[in-house]
Chain A
Amino acid sequence: MQAKLSVVALSVAAAFALSACGEKEAPPAPVAAPAAPAAKPEVVVKLGHVAPMTGPQAHLGKDNESGAILAVEELNSQGLEIGGAKVKFELVSEDDQADPKQGTIVAQKLVDAKVNGIIGHLNSGTTIPASKLYFDAGMPQVSPSATNPKYTQQGFNTAFRVMANDIQQGKVLGEFAVKQGAKTVAIIDDRTAYGQGLADEFRKAAEAAGLKVVANEYTNDKATDFKAILTKIKSKKADLVFFGGMDAQGGPLVKQMKDLGIKAKFLGGDGVCTPEFMKLGGPAADGQYCSLPGMPLEQLAKGPEFKSKFTTKFGYEIQLYAPNVYDAVMVIADSMKRADSIEPAKYLPEIGKTNMEGVSGKIEFDEFGDLKGGAISVYQYQGGTLTYVETLGGAPAPAAEAPAAPAADAAAAPAAAVEEKK
């Protein structure tokens, strides 16, 4: 009978210990002590930001977070007033480790913490499952970097993104490949939601444009050795190698291409358009092409200013999406201003009506939450820097589309064929 009682005691104790735990952890984010409150009531607006802060993409997560921090500080320095109170923005930063399971856990955490809006996540693989949680909670979510088309095809009226998606990106890259004079192409993807999605879109576009796909090879997002698949590609004599994946693999890949004496050119998406790619690829990265959503910072009205502000504040270069994160924060703030409320339920409808000039270009959303007129720019690595080549796709004015579908909640319709519009 001793065992019985000890079991009882243990479980009761455990229940109370857990409850004590739970209550102790209730306030999630450290609240920065506000400055001397003005006469007007001051209200704190918490914005959740999620990205992988550990793991192979941690450098991109940090980059995103920095963009958000910059935006929040600027907003705070403007001393905005919304709904009759001074607002102070605060960033609640979480790490999802690019793992979908972690993504849903931190999403739930943020929903519990009743933040006012979400910037994130970074990877499509985590953004998509988390978006369901945010939708169920009616919490607006603006992703600065999830390019997988599915994100906005789920019928969630809370899901938005501030850059072009992979359908547009793949298409542009396919056209660019043809323009470069390639006749045969080998496609490598890293078997992640992002890499596979992008590679599939590229394949569709390339085949439609008349390119012959001579090899489909695969790797994973933790690999460092690509010699086997590259050797195979070499034997198929492709003119161009397309890689759907991230810089952590792209860099070594391009290096090994050189080691093996492969003459083909390399083309990748936004995942490899980072300084990290150049660092990891070394001299082999020179002359390779990649694409980024939007226009180059230097050519945008507010671009150079943002760039210098960023590097001055943080002391390192922009990796990839920091401008888009900045814009995402601004979109939310702007919608709040227009709705004159920080309540998610009130400013959510305003997001769809956004029409502003962000750092990354004009921001307007279509009825699915995608960016209207999303342009994609192609760049080439030359002499250690990313040089702009050209911009394809996405006219500034929206092409005349058929749908009279109302902006707000679509029913949870299975993936509508959204591709053809852009």
Chain B
Amino acid sequence: MKNWLNPKSMTGIALIAIALIVLPHVVGMGGQAWVRILNFAILYVFLALGLNIVVGFAGLLDLGYIAFYAVGAYTWALLASPHFGLHFPLWAILPIGALMACVFGVLLGSPTLKLRGDYLAIVTLGFGEIIRIFLNNLNSPVNITNGPQGITLIDPVRIGDFSFSGTTQIFGFALSGPQKYYYLLVALAILVIIINVRLQHSRIGRAWQAIREDEIAAKAVGINTRNIKLLAFAMGASFGGIAGGIFSAMQGFVSPESFSLIESIMVLAMVVLGGMGHIPGVILGAVLLTFLPEVLRYAVGPVQMALFGKILIDPESLRMLIFGLALVLVMRFKPAGLWPSPERSRELSDKPVEAVK
């Protein structure tokens, strides 16, 4: 780790900290909906970072990642709602959710160990769908997930008496529900990012990268590829599980429809678009791809009015069209992602390769 204490870094950190603290209020001026979207962006950051471990670090193409999000979300829902009448507190459920997700990560990862490349992709995709369909149907004979109706009236995050939903007054300042969740999410995000960075530079992280680059060579060097791969799945899944839990609490409602294949694909797009394997890039990808469709939703109508004086093309279709085009264009002109790791850009640029480092 670089030395964090020198003046330059400290000012940098301080500036970022101030920006982060002020952000929800600035964004909130456009309406609480934007703070909500910001919160979703942070949730997707968790997901993208988790998937980054599997896809970016270890090079395992996982197209069913959203299943872990679903597991985390339903764990919270089942343990903190009228459905079973259980109301576990935050500090109990989040670890349980992360653990459940880990378990599923290992379960889903085990059959895939011998598969390479795109077989892995389709199998993980299959697992994602399997989880979703089970969630949609486990309401008989024993009602576990309440099927397509989903679970409602889920407890929000509560610390003691302080509830994160609804508006509270603090020091004469009104903090709305979404804004409170924002701070919680940012705190968790910082934790998650630190864990990820440490993982990346640890022996495990290097083992993952070795497997990504050349699995056979990695085995030859003595890396236990089986365990390391399972660890990738488990660790990646755990972040998804945590994000799922907070998602559940924030929404107050979960249903299987939120965990479809499209979501998995979206998270993958965030990782690849941002810069696979590069933590800042992945964070950027997550935030960008969460905000882009929403900004388009608000903007497409008014922009057409301004340009043409009337709505030519239905805003809904147009906004997703533009989104798709954005994906294609970014990949065309920045194939390594918007913010790839320095090693990657070196690899892909045409400059002659000097000695590494």
Contacts and interface: CB of A to CB of B under 8 A. Distances in A.
Direct interface between A and B, CB < 8 A? yes
B298 A25 contact: yes
A132 B8 contact: no
Given A25-B298, A109-B33, A129-B152, A191 B136 contact: yes
A192 B148 contact: yes
B149 A12 contact: no
A238 interface: no
B32 A5 contact: no
Contacts of B8: 1, 4-5
B147 A100 contact: no
Contacts of A7: 12, 16, 280
A414 B253 contact: no
Interface centre among B11, B36, B317 (most CB of A within 10 A): B36
A136 B165 contact: yes
A112 interface: yes
A22 interface: yes
Nearest to A129: B253
A164 B19 CA distance: 51
Interface string A187-208: 0000111011100000000000
Contact of A53 (B34, B148, B316): B316
Interface residues of B, number: 55
B16 A8 contact: yes
A256 B298 CA distance: 42
> How large, as a class, is the contact surface on chain A?
35 or more
A95 B136 CA distance: 24
Q: Is the interface of A mostly helix, strand, loop or mixed?
A: helix
B253 A22 contact: no
B16 A105 contact: no
A132 B250 CA distance: 12
A32 B12 CA distance: 47
A197 B137 CA distance: 13
Interface string A1-20: 10011011001101110110
Contacts of A112: 31-33
B149 A193 contact: yes
A4 B12 contact: yes
Interface in A1-55: 1, 4-5, 7-8, 11-12, 14-16, 18-19, 21-26, 28, 30, 53-54
B30 A30 contact: no
A129 B251 contact: yes
A5 B8 CA distance: 8
Interface centre among B27, B30, B314 (most CB of A within 10 A): B30
Contact of B149 (A19, A104, A148): A148
A22 B34 contact: yes
Contact of B152 (A54, A154, A218): A154
A132 B152 contact: yes
Interface centre among B34, B36, B148, B178 (most CB of A within 10 A): B148
B194 interface: no
A130 to B, nearest CB: 9
Contacts of A197: 149
Interface in B202-227: none
Query: 9 nearest interchain CB pairs?
Result: A22-B30, A112-B31, A19-B26, A129-B253, A109-B33, A8-B12, A25-B298, A15-B19, A108-B33
